[in-house]
Structures are given as structure tokens and as C-alpha cells.
Amino acid sequence: MEKLKKYVSVKDEDQFYHQGAVELLVFNFLLILTILTIWLFKNHRFRFLHETGGAMLYGLVMGLIIRYVTKASDVESGTVYECEKLKSGPSILLINITNQVYEYQYKREISHHNVNGHQGNAMLQKMTFDPSIFFNILLPPIIFHAGYSLKKRHFFRNLGSILTYAFLGTAISCVVIGLIMYGFVKAMVHTGQLKQWEFHFTDCLFFGSLMSATDPVTVLAIFHELHVDTDLYTLLFGESVLNDAVAIVLTYSISIYSPKENPNAFDAAAFFQSVGNFLGIFAGSFAMGSSYAVVTALISFMHLTKFTKLCEFPMLETGLFFLLSWSAFLSAEAAGLTGIVAVLFCGVTQAHYTYNNLSPDSKMRTKQLFEFMNFLAENVIFCYMGLALFTFQNHIFNPLFICGAFVAVFVARACNIYPLSFLLNLGRKQKIPRNFQHMMMFSGLRGAIAFALAIRDTDSQPKQMMFTTALLIVFFTVWVFGGGTTPMLTWLQIRVGVDPDEDLKAEAASQSASNLDKNTTKAESAWLFRIWYGFDHKYLKPILTHTGPPLTTTLPEWCNPIARLLTSPTAYGDQLKDGDTDYIINNDELTENYESSAHTPVPAQGRTGSTQATSKEDIQEGDLGLGGYKLQLQPQMNSSA
Amino acid sequence: MEKLKKYVSVKDEDQFYHQGAVELLVFNFLLILTILTIWLFKNHRFRFLHETGGAMLYGLVMGLIIRYVTKASDVESGTVYECEKLKSGPSILLINITNQVYEYQYKREISHHNVNGHQGNAMLQKMTFDPSIFFNILLPPIIFHAGYSLKKRHFFRNLGSILTYAFLGTAISCVVIGLIMYGFVKAMVHTGQLKQWEFHFTDCLFFGSLMSATDPVTVLAIFHELHVDTDLYTLLFGESVLNDAVAIVLTYSISIYSPKENPNAFDAAAFFQSVGNFLGIFAGSFAMGSSYAVVTALISFMHLTKFTKLCEFPMLETGLFFLLSWSAFLSAEAAGLTGIVAVLFCGVTQAHYTYNNLSPDSKMRTKQLFEFMNFLAENVIFCYMGLALFTFQNHIFNPLFICGAFVAVFVARACNIYPLSFLLNLGRKQKIPRNFQHMMMFSGLRGAIAFALAIRDTDSQPKQMMFTTALLIVFFTVWVFGGGTTPMLTWLQIRVGVDPDEDLKAEAASQSASNLDKNTTKAESAWLFRIWYGFDHKYLKPILTHTGPPLTTTLPEWCNPIARLLTSPTAYGDQLKDGDTDYIINNDELTENYESSAHTPVPAQGRTGSTQATSKEDIQEGDLGLGGYKLQLQPQMNSSA
């Protein structure tokens, strides 16, 4: 008898394994469908439904099927049991049931009104997977890829504007959404739909911060395909990538804002603590991410120079690169910082330094690997969003709240883009034309980050209401705005089919002509970046990569012994090769475009005093901050600016 | 107050996320260390410790640190609670503790004597991750890669021997280990170390089957690096890959063998049911794996021909390839078959058909992707094995059992290799020389599969004893035998530095001379395979790939309309291109070696009647089964054969 029972339990366990397989199979099936659809769409040049929209649609249908076709199997799962002896919730719970001990793992705390939601269907429960999977597994490759594929030159040229949109814009968006939602919540309390104590102003701000994260995926994929104007692309890309980082840290800072007494009153101390938290976490994550990248650069550099044969093992190189980048994420998380921010800046730094040290084979491998991971993770997330609408068990659909959120999101986007563009245009030499502003307004899609932030905490009723609303806004913006991108581009007469390389070359030519002019106009804002660029070019790049001038020429003479130690023997030979890796990551390209002729060698004596205008690179990249480069003449731009 | 409590719970949750990050970080750190060590070793051509051995060593040290440096944190976790109201263990348990509901997820059943092992240390508990991760995430890429990188030509030439070693050999090994262990168990019962009812003969057989899975990783990596004789390599590779599949199905069949009455007595019905299970599961998994590969081939073929522009999207191709291959695994698991076997044959079939349809870019991407995943998964498993020795909490070290197991494993390997080699040499034209036999005996390492099978079930005391013993055998064989491979090769005078391509060409030349001779000798054993090969070449390859002769020429005339429908327009043009993908996966090579000149076009009328000798491919690959090809003259082979 005991024997029999044992075998039954073995079979149960096997069934358990197979259950896991079924869940994964559902996702695989959805992804395969999505890929086949994308393939079909690309073949027919059909752009009204992007792959992300398609993935969501398939997820939705699958969710519907799982919800209404599969049956409730586990009758007991809605019941709450009492255990008088337990004083707190241990992470592993051992329970004696009819003389057999079972091990249970702690999952989460549930508020009382949610208990009824936990009814029956084991399949539904399995499909709603742990939100930590989003943060630890799915998001890092997407964000890293964004950082790694950043078009650096264009990015840095628009850095001032991008930072303004990302930091100031996100803050504006967060506060505006928070205020509007607070108004709606007040109205809901007035009509009796909500109890006063359930929804504080901080909750509204929390919602505002998570809804401020715009999604870089859908619109930018279309932009990339159509080769939309590079500046518009860079502005939107930079904004949405950095803005994700800002929104994540902001959400975290707001969630730990805990005023001592009345949660509705303003507590200055707690507020400033939150601001301090925000700055600390952001700076800490930035430092963590970049330092991992610097370590990777150093290791790959050491191996490249000291053991020259080691670039024979591109897989080891790729493995190391991958693991160290992921470690940046995990270390930041483990240290209580924000891994997403760390991995973003890790990606940027890796592209800037480490990429130059890799063997050609590893360059391609890392590029393809991250591209592939990004592709899979993105589609899994969008499929899952579709699924979640029907499989998540604690939705709260509140029409007033949802309407309010839609209004708030659009008003906040307008308050972000138009006033900031106006301010930026005061300082920018090349104005941001009005049609660009409209396009940026239109491109404020919400996607993976907003969803991930919302699903992270769904314990209380307000949080569930927020989650449901966020999901609906994601659906709406991805389908309607994502699908409308191509018509909108035509309507706004934004130029497409631009070759960024040619664009840049033409600009560089006109730029060097007006070199003197620029140096006098916006020197104060570009000043800091120029110093950093000089430093980077003269010291960091030679130490971390085998590009740039050898250290022996840039360091003062008394440092010569150290310089010689740090300089790789190849650096002298490679002096001609400019290591700047713009455009290294293009979805289509496989060959690397080095601008190998761009860097003219300068004799050592010519490099001592001045930081400016020593090479073409310095000329081009030294010019940063709030604008100040020559406008490419385009009829529609001029007419609207 | 309630507010405060809520914030505390949010912080707890965040800590929970960070915990997950710490675990992953530990693994990342171990992997980075391993990669750096491999890098160093490869540079110094140091072969006494292979990367797998290194990974295990680092894991061991880390396990030691975690075990003895971190403190017990969770005091309550060793306690068992009573819940009278619960009648069975639900998958999700909701528990009310001091007015707060907590959600717990079912993990496993624990036998009573194990409860004491569950003390304290949360870090230790976290590090021992779910065995389903091995089976669903880590093993599939390794096994798929093995199938995908199979050197088909050499493999099929030795197919008879490989199948004999894999099926008959594994069965012999399983029974021998089972019998010897049963003797030791009897002795242990006699000395009072064990109670009679705890350990049945089926348990011994179970142990025998799981210890029969030899590991392809360590030895073959060294073989590959040294370019050891291709036939020895193929024999060992084929044996260990297929033998894993056999051992997994065997273990499963034994675990569900349940005699009705006395578990020690022989029950013929149950026995034959187990044999039937074995055959059914094996055949079913084989069919599942191959059919997914055929679907992939069809899809990629359709896209290639119907929508010619679609090979422009190598990422979609790669994604589809990856997802369909993984789906083969998951479908088999979901259907109650063995995913590992399915994914193995899926890999073989993908390499045979789909690979030919991929764009050159996708060929490289899939190759590199699976290589990379294989590399990571392998090292994670070996690190984890090292960790498990100290972090797994239910070890039972029984010296007598361990000694018995060591004796049994070596005796069983000897009973497998020497008698079977003797029998095979009776039939083989090219004998397996004695030094090859010694090397095969010596290369019987146990690795990932044995470990994964052992960790899958550690609920009862006998199973824990088996797990501990299996772990120790893995350590011993990987370190001692893995490290001793290079000296052993020298000592046994086995030739190294062989170029498989040249080997094959020389053989092909000598083979075509002795063509007539072979066709008469072992025709009966090669007969079945020759029919299959003719069928494959004339019908399957033209349908599934764009290689081989067009269907219009191979099908009878009345099938012409169908043939024309199924034949791709490119097949006529590509007729010259032989699609056979031998040697496609080499760890080092990046370029594909097509034998584009090997396939001489044959006019349609010459192809109607005979299945033999229509092309060089048929000559080479048609000759399968138990040997029968010309021996390459090598002094040491002749002296020992």
C-alpha cells in the first residue's frame, strides 16, 4: 500500500513537470505564430500592425481560450486555512497533511479582498508567471540591446535635448498624470465608487511615474525600417530609453516615500529623502553599470594584448561579455540599486570601449546574440501582455479611472513635449520643427516597462486598478498609435529613406566650414562634455582599448614609465584606426563600417596644450549639449520651424 | 499603522527580488571565473584539468563558502505545522497568519526523516534549485547541440556498432550495476546498516540505469581539440549521445515498473509492460522530434521558394528554428514522452534537412547560437554539481554503498565494452582495435545526465543515498579520467592530429576501388539502411530541401503533376549542389565546407530502377550497419588488432 502511494506521488510529480512544459509550449506556439505573421507582413510590406501588436493580439486570443475553454480543476485553492501556531510567514513552509509532509514555498502576501479571485483554474494560475521573471530575465536583454545599439554620434549631438526630455519631461509627465488622476479619484470618492482612505496622492503619483515610461520598441522599429530622419529617430530613441530608466527609479522612489503622519499631507523631510533616493539610486546604478563595462574592457584588452592567441576563442570572449554585462544588472539589483539603469549604461559603455577590443568574430557574435535575445524577450513580453488581459485573475475595471487615465496620459505627453520643445528651441541652433514635435507627441506609446512596473505590485485594490488601466493603455497605444505611425509620418511630411552615413558626412563637411562660429555660440553648454571627450579620447580610450593615441604621447613626460606599462604594443600601430563605433548595430547590416580614415595622426608635440580641434573626431563629437550644429536644408523643416 | 505595515511588506518583497539576483550573481561569478581559467589553460595548453573539471572545482569551493560562512537565518523553517482541515496538498496554499493572508506554492513532498535536514539557511535552500530547471532549460540545448553537430557520414558508417553499444551496452551496464549493487545492499542489510524493506531490486536497477548514462562532454572536448582518430571519436560520441537517450528512457521505465504484489518478486506482466513502455516512449519521442524538424524544414523551404525575399530576415529564420526545436522538446514532455530523446533526433534531422534551406547568415547564426547555449548550459551544470556537494541538504554518505557503486560502475563498463567489441569485431571488416577498446573503457565518464536523473527524485532515503553516490562518481570520473585522457591517449598510442576531411577523401578513393567487394560482403546488414538512403535521397530531400534530384525525375510518370507542385524551381538549377552537411558544426570553423563537386548529376533515365551506386553519396553513405569499410593503415592499429 505504501509502495503504491509512492508511485502515485512519482506520477504526480511527473505530471508537474509536464505542466511546466505545457505552459512553455503555449508561449512557444504564440511566438512561432508571431514570427510567421511578421514574415508574412514584411513580405507584403504591411505596416499597419507591427509585430508587437501582432504578438499582443495572439496573446489575447490565447488568453481568451485558456480562460473560457479550460476548466477549474483545483477546488481547494480558493480556501484560506488557519494556522494558529505560525507567527510570521517563513520562506519555506513544511505542512503535515494526513501524515505526509509537504513543502511549500512562499510566494507573496495577498490582501483579504483578493482571496476570492484565487479560484480554481490551475492553468490560469500557471500562466500568470512571477513578475520577477520580467525584471531579472526579460527586461535586461532589451535594455542592454538599446544601450549597445545606441547611435552614439547622433545621440551625443542631441544629448542636451534628450536629457531634458528624459529627466524634466518624465518628471512633468509624472506630476501631471498624478494631479489629473487625483482629480478623478476625488470625483470617484464623491460618487461613492471608491473609499477615501484607499487612494492617496502618492498612489496617484506612483501611477503617474509608471505611466510615464514610453516604449522604444514599436515606433522605432518602424522608423528604422523606413529610415526616418536621423535626428527625429535619435531624439525619440534617446528619450524613450533614458526615460525608462528615469521612470523606473522614480517609481521606486515614490513607492518608498513614506511620510510619518498623514499620508495625504506634504512631508518635506520625506519628500527630500525621496529626491535623495532618486539621485542616489540613479547615480549608483550608473556607476555600477559603467564599472562592469570598464572591467570587461580591461579583461578583453589584457587578453588581446598579453595573450594574443586568445582571440582564437570567440566563444569564450562572447561568454565573458555576456556574463559580465548580466552581472552588472544582477549586482545593481543585489546592492538595492536599479538593474535596468545599470544594464543600460553598461551597454553604452560596452559599445564605447569593449567593442573595440573584441575580435571581429566576437563583434558579430555579441551583436547577433543580443539582437536575438532582444527579439525573443520583446515578443515574449508582448505575448504575455495579451495573455494577461484574460488570465490575470485580479483585474478591476473601473470605467471612470480608465477614462481619467487616458485623458491624463495624453495631456501629460502634451505638457511634456510642447513646452520643453519651445524651451529647447530657444537654445538650439537647429530648431526642433513643429512636425517633429507632433510626431513625438504621437509616438508616446506605453509598453513593456509600464506593464512590468504595474505588475510588480498587484496586492492592493488601487494597485490592481492601476494594473488593469495600464494594460488597457498599452493595448490602445500600441495598436492605434503603433499602427498609425506610417500614415502619420506621411501626413506630417517627415522625410523618410535617409541614409544616416551620408547625412553625417554632408553635415561634417558643412560643419567644419562653420567651425569657428559654433565654438563661440553655445560653448558654455558644450564645455563640460568637451572636457570629458578630451579626457576620454586621450586617457580612457588608450587605457581601455587599443585605439586612440598612445598614452606615452598624451600623458606628461614624468608619467612615461606608467604610460608605457599601460599602452598596448598594438596601439602604436593602430593609431590610424578610429575606434568610434557609430552605427555598429544595425538590424540589417553585418559588416562593420569603420571610419578608418577619419582619424588623422597628430604628432605628440602638437597635443600638449589644447583640448580642441586635434582631430576630426574631436570636432564632431566635441560639439554637444543644447544644439549648435548646421541644419541640413529640408523644405518642410524650414516651413514649419 | 496599516500604511506602515504595507510599506514594510513592499520592502520585504524587494528584498526577495534581490535575493534572486544574489543567487544568479553567484552563478555568473562562477562562470566568469571558469571562462577566465579556461582562457588561461588554453593559452598554456594545459590539458590535465578540463573546463568542466574546473567549473566543478569552483562550484565546490563556492559551496563550501556558502555552507560554512553564511549563517542560518530562518529559524522557523525546520518546523512542521499541522493543518487539520487540509485533506490533500493543493498547488497553491493560502494561509492566514496573524490576520494576513500569505500565498504559498507547492514544491514537493518530503519524507519524515528528511524534515530535520531542512534547517535554517535560506541561502542554501535558494542555491539548490528546482530539478525541473535541469530538464526543461539546461539539458535541451546540450543534447540538441550534440545532435546538430553530429558528423553524419562517420556516424552512419559506424551506426551498427554505435547502436549495439548504446542499446545493448546500456542494458548490460544497467543490469550489471543493478546486480552488484543488490549484492552490496544485501551485505549492508546483513551488517545492519540498512533495513530490508528500504531497498528493493528495482531500486538497484534504477540506480544502474541512471549510472549507465556516460557523459559526452569532457572527453570529447579533448578529443576534438587533439583531433583524435575520427572513428574512435565517432564511436565514443555516438555511443555517449545515444546512450544518454537510452538511459533516460530506461530510468523512466524502471521507475514506473510496479509489480502488483511483492516488489522483490519478478512479475512478468509488469516487466513486459516496462519493456513496452521503453519501446513506446523511445519510438514516440523519436517520431515527435523528427516530425518537428520536418515541419521546420517545410516552413523554411516554403519561405525560401515562395517568398524569395524572406531570407533577408535571418533573425526570424533563426528564431523560428530555435522555437520549433525547443517545441519538439516541450511537446514530447507534455505528451508524456521523453523530451531529451525528441530534441536529440530533432537536432539530427534539422542538420540533415533544414540546415540546407537556411540562408548562409542563418546557418552561421544557428550554429553559433546553439554552440553558445551549449557552452553556457554545460558550465552551469558542472558548476552546480560542484555546489551541490555542499549545499544540498539531504546527503547520505554511506561508505559501503559508495565503494560498491565504484566497483559496479567499472565492472559494468568492462562488461559493456569488451564483450560487445569482441562480438562486433566478428562482424566488422575494420576491427575495433584493442587500444580503442581500452580507451572506450577509460572514457566512461559520468556527467550531467546521471546527475540530472539522480537529482530528479531525492525524496526517499535510498534515492538520497543514490544521489550522493552518483555525485561522487561524477566528481571522480571527471577529474581523474577527464584529466588522464591526454596521458592515456599517448600511452595507448592512439593517433592524434587527424584531419577528418582528408581521412575521408583518402578512404573514399580506396573505397570506390573496393566497391564491388563491400557490396557482396555485408549486404544483408546494410540492406535496410540502403533502402532508406535511396528513399531519402530521391524523395525526402527533394521535398524538404532544395537539394537532390528534382522530384519530377525520381517519381513515376503518373505522379508528375504532384511532383511539379512539390519541386522548388531552384531545385533544377541547384541539382549540382550536394546538400550533405557533414562537418557543418566544428567549434572552430566558421566557413561551411560544401562538397559541391561530390555530387555528379545523373540523367533521369539512369535513375529509374536501381537504388545503388547512382552517385558518390550513395556509395559512401549507403554502406552502413556493422562495419565493412576499408581500414586506413596505421602501424599501431595493425599491431593491436
B80 touches chain A (CB under 8 A): yes
Please name the member of B318, B327, B372 whose beta carbon is closest to the beta carbon of A318.
B372
Q: How much is the pLDDT for A92?
A: 67
From CA A400, how far away is CA A199, in angstroms rounded? 14
B81 touches chain A (CB under 8 A): yes
Domains of chain A, start order: 131-262+271-503 (1.20.1530.20)
CA distance A640 to chain B (A): 37
Show the CA angle centred on residue B248, arms to residues B246 and B252, nearest 5°: 115
B7 touches chain A (CB under 8 A): yes
CA distance A87 to chain B (A): 6
Q: How much is the pLDDT for A471?
A: 92
Please name the member of A25, A313, A324 whose beta carbon is closest to the beta carbon of B327.
A25
A122 touches chain B (CB under 8 A): yes
Contacting residues of A for B309, CB less than 8 Å apart: 43
From CA B567, how far away is CA B305, in angstroms rounded? 10
Eight-class DSSP state of A103: E
Instruction: Give A144 or A18, the one with higher predicted confidence.
Output: A144
Q: How much is the pLDDT for B500?
A: 60
Instruction: Give A192 or B8, the one with higher predicted confidence.
Output: A192
Contacting residues of A for B118, CB less than 8 Å apart: 92, 94, 103
Eight-class DSSP state of B235: H
For the stretch A604-640, pLDDT in tens is 343 333 333 333 333 333 333 333 333 333 444 333 3
Lowest mean pLDDT across A196-200, A265-269, A546-550, B611-615: B611-615
B132 and A320 in contact by Cβ < 8 A? no
In the block, residue with C-alpha cell 520598441: A217
CA distance A96 to chain B (A): 5
B198 touches chain A (CB under 8 A): no
From CA A112, how far away is CA B71, in angstroms rounded? 34
> Smallest Cα–Cα separation from B168: which of B217, B204, B212, B219?
B212
- Count CA within 13 A, CB hemisphere, residue A1: 0
From CA B390, how far away is CA B60, in angstroms rounded? 7
B263 touches chain A (CB under 8 A): yes
**What is the rounded average pLDDT of the residues A472-495?**
87
B102 and A106 in contact by Cβ < 8 A? yes
- Which residues, 6 or more positions from A512, have their beta carbon under 8 angstroms from its beta carbon? A616, A619
Question: Given pLDDT bands bounded at 50, 70 and 90, which one contains residue A208?
Answer: very high
Nearest CA in chain A to B199: A3
A109 and B100 in contact by Cβ < 8 A? yes
In one letter, which amino acid is B430?
Answer: Q
Portion 37-56 of A in contact with B at CB < 8 A: 38-39, 42-43
B81 and A83 in contact by Cβ < 8 A? yes
A28 and B323 in contact by Cβ < 8 A? yes
Portion 439-478 of B in contact with A at CB < 8 A: 457, 459-460
**What is the rounded average pLDDT of the residues A39-57?**
77
Across A262-276, A308-322, B399-413, the highest mean pLDDT is recorded for: B399-413
- Which residues, 6 or more positions from B156, have their beta carbon under 8 angstroms from its beta carbon? B529, B621, B624
A101 and B81 in contact by Cβ < 8 A? no
Portion 370-399 of B in contact with A at CB < 8 A: 371-372, 375-376
Lowest mean pLDDT across A263-272, A379-388, B352-361, B554-563: B554-563
Please name the member of B3, B104, B115 whose beta carbon is closest to the beta carbon of A101.
B115
A201 touches chain B (CB under 8 A): no
B333 and A21 in contact by Cβ < 8 A? yes
Angle between helices B448-455 and B360-391 (to 10 degrees): 60
Best residue of B79, B333, B338, B379 to probe chain A, by most A CBs closer than 10 Å? B333
CA distance B98 to chain A (A): 7
A28 touches chain B (CB under 8 A): yes
B77 and A91 in contact by Cβ < 8 A? yes
> Smallest Cα–Cα separation from A351: which of A323, A332, A330, A370?
A370
Q: What region does B465 belong to: left with phi over 0, alpha with psi -120 to 50, or beta?
A: alpha
Question: Given pLDDT bands bounded at 50, 70 and 90, which one contains residue A460?
Answer: confident
Question: Given pLDDT bands bounded at 50, 70 and 90, which one contains residue A168?
Answer: very high
Neighbours of A422 (CB within 10 A): 12
Question: Given pLDDT bands bounded at 50, 70 and 90, which one contains residue A340?
Answer: confident
> Smallest Cα–Cα separation from A346: which of A361, A333, A336?
A333
Nearest CA in chain A to B370: A369
Across A3-7, A309-313, A418-422, the highest mean pLDDT is recorded for: A418-422
B565 touches chain A (CB under 8 A): no
Q: How much is the pLDDT for A227?
A: 81
CA distance A150 to chain B (A): 20
pTM of the model: 0.77
Contacting residues of A for B36, CB less than 8 Å apart: 299, 320
- Which residues, 6 or more positions from B611, have their beta carbon under 8 angstroms from its beta carbon? B530, B531, B534, B618
Percent above pLDDT 70 for chain A:
62
**What is the rounded average pLDDT of the residues A595-601?**
36
B369 and A371 in contact by Cβ < 8 A? no
B111 and A101 in contact by Cβ < 8 A? yes
B197 touches chain A (CB under 8 A): no
- Count CA within 13 A, CB hemisphere, residue A602: 23
Q: How much is the pLDDT for A574?
A: 42
Show the CA angle centred on residue A491, arms to residues A487 and A495, nearest 5°: 95
Do residues B170 and B243 make contact, with C-beta atoms less than 8 angstroms apart? Answer: yes
Please name the member of B101, B319, B327 whose beta carbon is closest to the beta carbon of A376.
B319
Q: How much is the pLDDT for B519?
A: 41
A106 and B109 in contact by Cβ < 8 A? no
Question: Given pLDDT bands bounded at 50, 70 and 90, which one contains residue A419?
Answer: very high
- Which residues, 6 or more positions from A133, have their beta carbon under 8 angstroms from its beta carbon? none
Mean pLDDT by 10 residues, chain B (641 residues): 38 51 83 84 72 86 82 55 64 68 67 54 64 79 86 76 89 93 87 73 88 82 80 86 88 75 66 85 90 85 57 78 90 86 89 81 86 89 87 82 91 92 84 88 87 82 87 90 85 78 57 44 51 71 66 64 56 41 35 35 40 36 34 38 32
Please name the member of B3, B97, B587 whose beta carbon is closest to the beta carbon of A263.
B3
Query: In this structure, is the dihedral angle defined by the CA atoms of residues B305, B306, B308 and B309, taken in order, positive or negative?
Result: negative
B85 touches chain A (CB under 8 A): yes
Question: Mean of the per-residue pLDDT values for chain A?
Answer: 72
Lowest mean pLDDT across A41-55, A276-290, B181-195, B586-600: B586-600
Please name the member of A38, A83, A324 whose beta carbon is closest to the beta carbon of B316.
A38
Q: How much is the pLDDT for A449?
A: 86
B21 and A136 in contact by Cβ < 8 A? yes
> Smallest Cα–Cα separation from A27: which of A55, A51, A4, A48?
A55
Contacting residues of A for B108, CB less than 8 Å apart: 13, 102-103
A493 touches chain B (CB under 8 A): no
B296 touches chain A (CB under 8 A): no
Q: How much is the pLDDT for A6?
A: 39
Instruction: Give A558 or A36, the one with higher predicted confidence.
Output: A36
A327 and B28 in contact by Cβ < 8 A? yes
Q: How much is the pLDDT for B415?
A: 92
B83 and A79 in contact by Cβ < 8 A? no
Please name the member of A80, A97, A587 whose beta carbon is closest to the beta carbon of B101.
A80
B80 and A100 in contact by Cβ < 8 A? no
B91 touches chain A (CB under 8 A): yes
Contacting residues of B for A22, CB less than 8 Å apart: 330, 334
B132 and A93 in contact by Cβ < 8 A? no
Q: How much is the pLDDT for B228?
A: 84
**What is the rounded average pLDDT of the residues A144-164?**
81
Show the CA angle centred on residue B151, arms to residues B146 and B156, nearest 5°: 110
